[in-house]
Amino acid sequence: MKKIRIGMLGLGTVGSGVVRIVEGHQEDLQRQTGAELVLSKIAVRDINKSRKVTVDPALLTEDPWEVINDPEIDVIVEVMGGVEQTKEYILAALDKGKQVITANKDLIALHGPEILAKAAEKRCDIMYEASVAGGIPILRTLVEGFSSDRITKIVGIVNGTTNYILTKMTQEGASYEDVLVEAQRLGYAEQDPTSDVEGFDAAYKMIILGSLGFHVHLSLNDLDIRGISKVTSDDIASAKRLGYTIKLLGIAERQDDLISISVQPTMVKDSHPLASVNGVFNAIYVYGQAVGETMFYGPGAGDMPTATSVVADLVAVTRNLLTGINGSRSSMIMNEKKLKSDEQIVSKYFMRLHVADKAGVLAKITQIFADYDISLESVLQLPNNGTDEQETEIIIITHDASKAGLNKALAKFEEIEVVKAVRSVYRVEG
């Protein structure tokens, strides 16, 4: 039986999972592929560190170049993370004609085009299923399952940390700060949670999903990114009262050739399937012109789910090696990228305004919306039962409005005296 030799960069959480699956499922994998999958070399930072899996110490090296330069190695599995240095390793591996599998979303989101171009030039496979939504085979689904369709919208809950925090806030009425501390204690959030809670992790994943779904090269500058650190329990309570749940959604849309893409906390109708995706789970909603609406749900992180995706890539690469067709798919032509302007980005919006509690205020506010051509779906003026009798709260949900129009209305509210504060503004989905 032919041996496929694997060199791995990194042996952390995901890397340990890869070792476990390649060893534990070896017999199944051989039957699936017709080849023996051999882990031949693993680069680690510290050879002497104690690890969650037992690995023959002879396989370990502290020098990644030893793995990349090994002529025996067919496939490089990169699970070490990092961007600039790691890019150098991967480009060098491709240059040597090795197939590459990576779980590194930052790398693919930031340098995908350069890496894909190198893979195409060298007729090598570059696969990165594990970079988005852990164990959900969503990239395969977009590329293979919907190859016949024209995808028009991808909406994803793609960050488990923020979904855990929002779920807890919703279910227990707790504050953002308290839940974040708990999430950090449980290991669901990093000590520096910025990348998760400010939406950057989700943004990287949406870049990958949008690029594959719409066949364009998207980059970080193309996204509007807003995290969850400003979401308050009051916002969540207001959402609940109106039959909505707040979720951090990545939304990529295509209308004709125009694309918009964003990450933001969004009010999702309770009847929408995404509203009931709770805890650290991920889900991706895909709309296709022909297929209509579909959803894919599963664990978004974790050693074994993520390793499942890495090893599924390994199976695909191995099959390609045995039939000699590696790199045959990397020459896909790309569409020209045209982004929607703020005038063209249209959505429903929810907002909470604190206003002076006196006659004529509501008329003034609704007139401003009318001036900017924004019609309103519902207006809810709450009875003033707070401590400050001079102010009251108005909750507004608009019909579809352009982002530009909305921003003008919001700017106007800043100017007029009767609006004391715009407490919050959310996009509304479903």
Whose Cβ is closer to a second copy: residue 136's or residue 401's?
A: 136
Query: x/- string (CB under 8 A) for a second copy, residues 246-285?
Result: ---------------------------x--x---------
166 binds a second copy (CB under 8 A): no
Whose Cβ is closer to a second copy: residue 234's or residue 293's?
A: 293
For the record, the structure tokens of 64 come out as: 């990644």
1 binds a second copy (CB under 8 A): no
Beta bridge partners of 259: 254, 339
Amino acid at 89: Y
Alpha carbon of residue 276 to chain centroid: 18
Q: How many residues bind a second copy (CB under 8 A)?
A: 55
Residue 224 Cβ vs a second copy, minimum distance, rounded to whole Å:
27
79/102 Cα distance (integer angstroms): 6
The one-character DSSP state at 394 is E
With contacts defined by CB under 8 A, name the span among 255-263, 315-323, 367-375, 398-406 that binds a second copy.
Answer: 315-323
In the three-class reduction of DSSP (H, G, I as helix; E, B as strand; rest coil), residue 385 is classed as: coil
23/54 Cα distance (integer angstroms): 11
Q: Within 13 A of 18's CA, how many CA atoms are on the CB side?
A: 31
Residues 6+ apart with CB under 8 A from 58: none
- Give me the catalytic one of 205, 247, 408, 420: 205
User: Which ranges of 260-402 would DSSP assign to H, the alpha helix?
Assistant: 303-323, 361-371
153 binds a second copy (CB under 8 A): no
Query: x/- string (CB under 8 A) for a second copy, residues 16-55?
Result: -x--xx---x--xx-xx-----------------------
Sign of CA dihedral 232, 237, 238, 244: positive
Q: Are 430 and 242 in contact (CB under 8 A)?
A: no
Beta bridge partners of 100: 76, 126
Query: x/- string (CB under 8 A) for a second copy, residues 283-302?
Result: -----x-xxxxxxxxxx--x
Query: x/- string (CB under 8 A) for a second copy, residues 328-357?
Result: xx--xx------------------------
Binding positions for NADPH are 105
List residues near a second copy by CB under 8 A. 17, 20-21, 25, 28-29, 31-32, 129, 135-137, 140-141, 144-150, 215, 273, 276, 288, 290-299, 302, 304-305, 307-312, 314-316, 319, 322-323, 325, 328-329, 332-333
Binding positions are 9-16, 105, 190
